[in-house]
Structure 1
Amino acid sequence: MLTLELAGQSYNKTEHRRQLQRKLNNRSDASIEFKHSNISAAMIDLGFPYIRGYQPRSNYQALLADTVEAQIRSKTTLDQVALAAVEQPAIAPRQTDFAKVKSDAPKKQLQVSEAIQPMQFKATKRDYFEREARNRSLGLAGEEFVVLYEHWRLMELGQQRLADRVEHVSQSKGDGLGYDVLSFDSDGRERLIEVKTTTFGRDTPFFVSRGELALSKGAKEQFHLYRLFEFRKTPRLFALHGALDQFCNLDPVTYKASFA
């Protein structure tokens, strides 16, 4: 199913579930859905995207992790399709109903030491999230989308003067500031927006730099991280306002930010 989804082809989740039920002594729909959500979490830990609609549930068994890893290793087509998906050029969507863009952010899950540990293994091939993060056209398209979104948001608040001052600073002033877009709150206070864009689901991990993390702590009243997801399909976003470590679990080596 994931291979078909990444390739832009359709599939029938209901029929797939029915076929599984015949092999699993008619286990309930909820049980099968829950197990697919466990698989989604294992896929993320392996550096792979997950199937839309199966939100990750992290406390999965070590046996499931081993099985998922073995399946991935044997699926060369999945590797090829996933690589093509993360490296494909992107442009900002031209027609979007900005009123439907905003989404709730995932909740940070506490990390505990248990017999079941989802991070005992590493990706066997590539970290597709890291490769997608290096897709410059996708990053630029996401930033351009946020510029348009912020202009719309301020216009909706009746702040045309502020809307006209929204600036794409990563282009006008260069990278390295710790944020990509300068916008404003309705009272005129600056809003420093760092944009992270993925074509995958809401729970997909992202990467932050030391500078971005420092800015989120040092200017926590002004700093906002906008996470764009499902960008090629129907762009959505959630916002994290303030110090990033209060919202995400941060890998101390790579600063990969996840919610599980």
Structure 2
Amino acid sequence: MASDLSRIDRRASVQAALDEFVSLGRAAFLAKYGFGKSRDFLVLDPTTGTPCDSKAIAGAAFGHQFPDEGPLEAADFSGGEATVVPTLERLGFQVVRIGEDWNDAEVTATVDSYFEMLRLEALGHPFRKTEFNEALRARLRGRSKASVELKFQNISAVLWALELPFINGYKPRGNSQLLLRQVVQKFLSDQQSLIRQIADAFEEVRTPDQQGFHARVVDPPSVQMVDRSGEAATKLRLPRHVDFAARDEANRRLGRAGEQWAIGYEHIRLHREGLEDLVQSLKWVSEDLGDGAGYDIESFDAPGAPRLIEVKTTNRGHASSFSISRNELEVSREREDAYCLYRIFNFREQPSLYVLRGDMTKHLHLQPIDFRASFKRFIGE
């Protein structure tokens, strides 16, 4: 019970529990006392700096102070901000929220490790994430493999919010500490030559004859709600050359190669669906007529039923952003029954594809990024 916690008034009892935690190791300590891992708070051992599970420490500390009664069990009291935290802080111990206890040196080492993996991935060089995790943990203070993985996911979330690429396999996971966001932004500002190298490598183009057309067709990403409340008041303004979404779209070679690949994919699809007679009627509209049509390829869903395909290609991952023109949006609404957007991603390594059909405003969160400036204003605006 919470009232039992209030009886803990000897700092030495808590320190004895912390010493035992460090000596036994986390898994053995938790198993001995029958506690699970803390979900929210850790208490730091002042001697070694080791983060320890706060509720388990409180339960064990009670047993050290009252050996005749024995330690408290997990079911005897609730942990958290209203119970365990004030008990431990009252005795002079530092309690931290999980994820916020990483210091500057640890966060900097983690960010450096992450960007080295990102560089290798961009260059197409093989590496093992587990080896990077192990090497990094050797430089940190008692961090678990899972906690390092979570920190890498937090870095992915910071990069994703900045419209920058992140490592495949480290899906963005939010709620990152302020220090982490600050260190990532400092890295981006200080290491611009490396960022340019990564940008150039991610824009490498393979021609369609170097790839097969049997794409892994997947579901599109869902629109995620992003909390901006923790971001700095002044948004980081990165140089244009590290705006990967814009660079991919501006890279005509990549776009053209993606359209070529999409045409090859359509050949396969039409044959597979018994529409091989329509293959010769396929039109590469953007190549023959330019980009003004609002779509790149005219294919078919059935005889007499056109499929108007706009192709968006990237070497980056599934949830990477892309640019879409006002004209393309208008055509997607006007020709909703026929319009398809093919998002081809991981193009350099192994092309994968998802398809958005109909009105694009129903699928995407749209944010204006440019304005046309002139000296005329239309009546009613």
Is the pair's TM-score, using the shorter chain for normalization, greater than 0.5? yes
Identity %: 37
- Aligned pair partner of 2:170 in 50, 54, 68: 54
- Secondary structure class of the residue paired with 2:281: coil
Separation in structure 2 between the aligned mates of residue 148 and residue 169 of structure 1, nearest angstrom = 15
Equivalent position of 2:229 in the other structure: 115
1:105 to 198, 216, 220: 220
Which letter maps to 2:173? Answer: R
| Cα distance change, pair 90–193 in 1 and its aligned pair in 2 (3 A) | same
- CA shift in 2, pair 1:25/1:214, >3 Å: same
Q: Which moved more, 1:58-67 or 1:145-154?
A: 58-67
- 2:329 is the counterpart of 1:241: no
More moved, 179-188 vs 116-125: 116-125
Q: Secondary structure at the match of 1:237?
A: strand
Larger helix share, 1 or 2: 2
Residue 96 of structure 2 corresponds to: none
**What is the CA–CA distance in structure 2 between the aligned matches of 1:13 and 1:143, rounded to whole Å?**
33
Structure 1 position 13, deviation (Å): 0.7
Structure 1 residues 245 and 25, CA gap change in structure 2 (3 angstroms): farther
* Equivalent position to 2:238, from 97, 111, 124: 124
SS of 1:9's equivalent?
coil
Q: Which runs of 5+ in 1 are unaligned?
A: 256-260
Deviates more, 1:143-152 or 1:71-80: 71-80
Question: Do the aligned partners of residues 246 and 117 (structure 1) sit closer, same or farther apart at CA in structure 2, a change above 3 Å counting?
Answer: farther
8 Å Cα contact 1:226/1:238 also seen in 2: yes
Q: Distance in 1 between matches of 2:251 and 2:345?
A: 14
- Gaps of at least 5 residues in structure 2 are 1-116, 372-381
User: What is the aligned partner in structure 2 of residue 222 from structure 1?
Assistant: 338
Alpha-carbon distance between aligned partners in 1 of 2:135 and 2:195, rounded to the nearest angstrom: 25
Distance 1:249 1:118 in 2: 22
Partner amino acid, structure 1, of 2:238: T
Which structure's CA Rg is the greater one? 2
**Pair 1:5-2:121 in alignment:** yes
Measure, in 2, the Cα distance between the counterparts of 1:207 and 1:10: 30
Aligned residue identity for 1:122:
L
1:92-241 alignment to 2 at 5 Å? Answer: 92-98=208-214, 100-111=215-226, 115-117=229-231, 121-125=235-239, 126-186=242-302, 188-241=304-357
Instruction: State the TM-score, normalized to the length of structure 2.
Output: 0.61
TM-score of the two chains, using structure 1 as the length reference = 0.87
The match for 2:113 is none
Deviations 1:195-251 (A, max 9, x none): 010011111110000011111222222111111111111111111112222222111
1:86–1:131 contact (8 Å) kept in structure 2 = no
Contact 2:213 2:265 in 1 (8 A): no
Q: Deviations over 1:154-185 (max 9, x none)?
A: 10011111222221110122211110011111
C-alpha contact 2:203 2:315 (8 A) present in aligned 1: no
Whole-angstrom distance in 2 between the partners of 1:20 and 1:121: 30
Letter in 1 for 2:152: H
Are 2:154 and 1:38 equivalent residues in the alignment? yes
